[in-house]
Structure formats: structure tokens, C-alpha cells
Structure 1
């Protein structure tokens, strides 16, 4: 999906969340990144292959 330079990280790379947002739905709590990753406001992720990454926000932010 990524058409710009430099290319965004792939969905299976550790820095996958650094990809550009191509569609944002803040009222629904999610964004689609150009590497086909769905990123949720709670920091959970849905990879293009259907794999789920559990929310991983820092503990300090979760208790604040």
C-alpha cells in the first residue's frame, strides 16, 4: 500500500506503528495505516493476516 518515500515499515516489523495513517475513524477508535495495519486507540492492533496484538500501552499511562 505504501506509495511514498521513504517507505513505511511493513506490518510485521517492530516499528509497524510508525506507518502513515491513510484513514482515521476517531469516533470509532481506530485508524488504518498504509501498511494495512489497523491500530486501535487502546494501542491494540489487527495485522493484515488477521493476527491480533493485545493493547500495550505503558503501565503509567493506564493508571494515570
Structure 2
């Protein structure tokens, strides 16, 4: 699961990096428009592409709090 898909991470890869189920990430995204400040890019096929450094962004914010 280490491969990066076109410069970003799939929701499954992002979830695996932060230890959260992909379904939980999708629910939060639908409710608030982002996953705790991290916003994915939506591909034409409907998939979400998270920034390659999304886990670091999120875990950095949690560590600062």
C-alpha cells in the first residue's frame, strides 16, 4: 500500500497511514467538507485523491494540540 496514485493517496492508503477506517474518513468529509482540515481532490471517476503528505499534515496538527 505504499504506492502513490498520481501524486496522492487513495482513501484506503490515507486511512491506513493514520489508523482510521476509510468509511469514517468519507463520512467526516461528507459532513464537513474536509477531514480535519485536509481536503482531497475529486477525480473524474469519482475517486478521492488525498495529498501525498496528508498524514503528516493531520498528525502534525494533532501533535501540536
The TM-score normalised by the length of structure 2 is: 0.25
Higher helix fraction: Structure 1 or Structure 2?
2
Q: Rg larger in 1 or in 2?
A: 1
The TM-score normalised by the length of structure 1 is: 0.26
Higher strand fraction: Structure 1 or Structure 2?
1
* Greater RCO (CA < 8 Å, at least 6 residues apart): 2
